[in-house]
Amino acid sequence: MHLSENEGIEGNTFVVTGGLGFVGSALCLELLRRGARQVRAFDCRPTSPWSHDLASHGVRCIQGDLVRKKDVEKAISGADCVFHLASYGMSGKEMLQFGRADEVNINGTCHVLEACVQYEVRRLVYVSTYNVVYGGKEILNGNESLPYFPIDDHVDSYGRSKSIAEQLVLKSNGRPFKNRNGKCLYTCAIRPAAIYGPGEERHLPRIMSLAKLGLLLFRIGDPSVKSDWIYIDNLVLALILGSMGLLDDIPKQGYHPVAAGQAYFVSDGSPINSFEFLRPLLRSVGYDIPNTSLAVPHALVLGKIFGAVYTVLHPWLHKWWLPQPLILPAEVYKVGVTHYFSFLKAKQELGYVPMVTPKEGMAATMSYWQERKRKTLDGPTIYTWLFCVIGMITMFCAAYLPEIGPVPLLRAISLFFFRSMFSIRVVFLISAGLHIGESIYAWKLAKRVDPANAKGWFWQTFALGIFSLRYLLKRAK
C-alpha cells in the first residue's frame, strides 16, 4: 500500500477494546496523534497505569465487560473502526481459568462482531496470537499458509479460544449490513510475537519478580532455541497499517481491500533465544539468567505439576495473595521450542517494516526498568525471608510457648544450636531488639532517600533486620 500516514484515521472514530492495557493505551494515543476525531478505550478495569495519560489526551474511557452484549454495543455504536485487543488467559493463573477465557475470547468476540454489523462499522482489526498455528511443534520461518493448530491439541485455553475467535473474525469478513445498502464489514487479524517495551505488564514484571525472589532457577531448552519478539511501537504500527488495509475507497484498490479476510504475522524480524534476549535487561537491574538448563520434557513435567496444584486451587485463582505458578506447560513450549515467523506478507501487502530495532527497543525497556527499580522497594531473595521469619518464629516458640503441638520439636532444634533455654531466650531478645532498632533506623533513613516506600522499608526491615537494611544503605550511598 502507498498511503499517507493518516489515511483512514483523520476525522474517524475508533474503539479499542482492552484500551486501558499496555498495547491498547499506546494504540489510543497514536490514533489521536494521527488525527482521529474520537478514540474510545473500552476495558473492564476502571483504571490502569495509563488511565490518567489517556484521559488527559482526550481518550474517552468506557468501563464494561466483553461478555455483556449491551456494554459492547454501547461502546461500538457510531464507530468507524474497531481494534479488538481485549483477551483473557495469556499467562500465569489466568491460563487455568478456562471458563473465563472462553467467555471473553470467544463470546466476547462474537459480541464485537454482532455490534459491528448492527452499527455498520466498516473495519475490524483483531489482535490474535502465534498460538493459533503453534502448539509446541518446531516452526522455522513460518508464514500465513500454515494451517490452524488442531483445536483439541492445544494445551491451554488461551491458544484454543483465540484460534476459534480468529476464525470467527476472518469468516465474518464481507458480512453485509442488515439494511442491505451494499456495504459490509471488513476484517483482518494481526498475529504479534511476544510483546515487550517500557510498561509491559504481563511477562516482564513476572520475570523480574521471580529474579528478585531468587526463583529464576533454570533456563528451559537448548540455547539454540529461537522465537520472535516485537517492540510495542512496531506492533502499534502494524495495527494501524492493518486498519488502512481494510479501506475500500483507495484508488487502484477498488472493490476489495487488500487486508480483507487476511491474517498477518508481525515481529521485530530478529529471532533470538528468549533467555539471551532477556539477559541484558536482567543484568541492567542486578539480576542474571541462570546457567542451569532444564530439558523440555522435564520442564513439561514440572509445568504439569504446577498446573495440577493450581487447578485444585481454582476457587482462589483470582485472589491477589495466591502467587503466580512458576511455569505451566504452554509457557514451556513458548520458550523451549523454536518457533519464529516471517513478516514478509505484512511487508508486501501492508507496508509493515519495524521502525524500532531490537537494540533500541531493549535500551528503552532497560531504562524503564532501571528507573522503576529505583522507585520500588528492593530486597533479598525468598530464601532469606524463609530463613529469617522461620528462624525468629522457631526461637520464640522454643523460648516461651508451652509443650504443645510442634513446640517440643522446635525447642529440641533450638537447644541443639544454643545448648540451654537461657541462651535461646537471650538470643531471641537480642535479635528482636536489633530488628526493632534497625527497622526504626530504616524508616528514618527511607524518609530521606526513598520517602514513597518508607513504610515498606520499616516492615521489611522489621522482619529481616540487616538483610533488608543493607539494601537501603546501598541505595542511600
* Interval 439-464: pLDDT, tens: 999 999 999 999 999 999 999 999 99
Mean residue pLDDT across the chain = 94
Model confidence at 236: pLDDT above 90: yes
What confidence category does residue 1 fall into, taking pLDDT thresholds of 50, 70 and 90?
low
What confidence category does residue 250 fall into, taking pLDDT thresholds of 50, 70 and 90?
low
What confidence category does residue 255 fall into, taking pLDDT thresholds of 50, 70 and 90?
low
CATH fold label, 13-199+226-271+338-358 = Rossmann fold (3.40.50)
Model confidence at 334: pLDDT above 90: yes
C-alpha closest to that of 334 among 189, 169, 131, 176: 131
Determine the average pLDDT of the residues in 170-193.
Answer: 92
C-alpha closest to that of 350 among 27, 4, 1: 1
Model confidence at 12: pLDDT above 60: yes
Which residue shows C-alpha cell 502467587?
323
Residue 166 is predicted with a pLDDT of: 98
Specify the pTM: 0.92
What Cα–Cα distance (Å) separates residue 470 from each residue in 143, 329, 378, 390, 451? 52, 38, 10, 20, 17
- Contact by Cβ (8 Å): 228, 194: yes
Q: Which of 130, 134, 158, 471 is catalytic?
A: 158
134 an active-site residue?
Answer: no
Give the distance between the most distant pair of CA atoms in the chain.
92
Residue 162 is predicted with a pLDDT of: 98
% of the chain residues with pLDDT over 70: 97
Dihedral Cα 185, 98, 100, 83, nearest 10 deg? -30
What confidence category does residue 249 fall into, taking pLDDT thresholds of 50, 70 and 90?
low
Residue ranges, CATH 3.40.50.720, the chain: 13-199+226-271+338-358
Residue 5 is predicted with a pLDDT of: 77
Positive or negative, the CA dihedral 32, 36, 37, 38 is: negative
